[in-house]
Amino acid sequence: MTRLNWFTFSSPATFYPLAGKCIPWLWAIAALFGLSGLFMGFFVAPTDAVQGEGYRIIFVHVPASWMSMLIYVVMAGWAAAGLIFNTRLSYVMAQALAPTGALMAVLSLATGSLWGKPMWGTWWIWDARLTSELILLFLYLGYIGLHSSIDDTRRADKASAVLALVGVVNVPIIYFSVKWWNTLHQGASVSLTRSPSMAQLMLWGMLLMALSFWAYTLAIVCYRVRSLIIERERHTEWVQALPEVSGVKA
């Protein structure tokens, strides 16, 4: 029996075709779970006894918030791997994750404002969780801006990797902010240490949306990684031999 060696896919040349094969499946999973989650969240889940119909924004807000934090941690992990092992693919993965992480942070803040207006009577308040989430968005934008401002790719990779590692301290601050400070933001409805404080239908709708966002992130990151690999490795023979590259030249 052949044993799968994951280190085989640690180089751009071997990861490129794997990412291409995964993209259609990931898009399909994202669409399936997304449509199922939206249907369950907006049409099947019961009306909340306290917040009424306005609570349904959480089916987008909570998964986006989860993903904004998770993506940053994963991005910082790839950045650390790049600094430690000096692997080209690690830096590419970190660079590819940043725009999607920024998108999730924007979506989290925007939907949070839509929820906050009817619940708190204001679009924005300098609450600990909201402020730390805004800082997370600035960290994403700072990473993207720093990387794009340095012409030398290796220097850009290392400088932005250091920024990613420094900023990762903000993620636990976001998560624990409602416990550490007296904030308006409600506590977590889903926790690994206790039972969910919401109806099962609400929980399933939220989890389906989270899986959809997860699959979307993987799909768009795979697509972006392939584009970055072509850009960075354009002078290598294997990239020159790709049909999508040689066809453009012809």
- Reported as a single tens digit per residue, the pLDDT across 79-91 is 999 999 998 999 9
Q: Average the pLDDT over each of 29-33, 44-48, 56-60, 209-213 and give the range with the smallest value.
A: 44-48
Q: What is the pLDDT averaged over residues 3-18?
A: 73
Please indicate whether residue 123 or residue 172 has the higher confidence score (pLDDT): 172
pTM > 0.85: yes or no:
yes
**pLDDT at residue 186, as a whole number:** 56
Q: DSSP states of 66-125 as a string?
A: HHHHHHHHHHHHHHHHHHHH--HHHHHHHHHHHHHHHHHHHHHHHHHHHHHHHHHSSS--
**pLDDT at residue 133, as a whole number:** 93
Q: What is the pLDDT averaged over residues 201-212?
A: 91
Whether the predicted pLDDT of 147 surpasses 80 = yes
Whether the predicted pLDDT of 178 surpasses 60 = yes
**pLDDT at residue 2, as a whole number:** 44
pLDDT in tens, 33-53: 999 999 998 898 888 777 777
Whether the predicted pLDDT of 4 surpasses 70 = no
pLDDT band at 183 (very low <50, low <70, confident <90, very high): low
42-53 exposure pattern, b = at least 16 Cβ within 10 A, e = fewer: eeebeeeeeeee
**pLDDT at residue 1, as a whole number:** 40
Share of the chain above pLDDT 70, in %: 85
Give the whole-angstrom CA distance, residue 198 versus residue 56.
Answer: 12
pLDDT band at 118 (very low <50, low <70, confident <90, very high): confident
**pLDDT at residue 167, as a whole number:** 96
Q: Average the pLDDT over each of 107-111, 123-127, 227-231, 245-249 and give the range with the smallest value.
A: 245-249
Please indicate whether residue 102 or residue 58 has the higher confidence score (pLDDT): 102
**pLDDT at residue 243, as a whole number:** 82
Give the whole-angstrom CA distance, residue 93 versus residue 99.
Answer: 11
Give the whole-angstrom CA distance, residue 4 versus residue 115.
Answer: 46
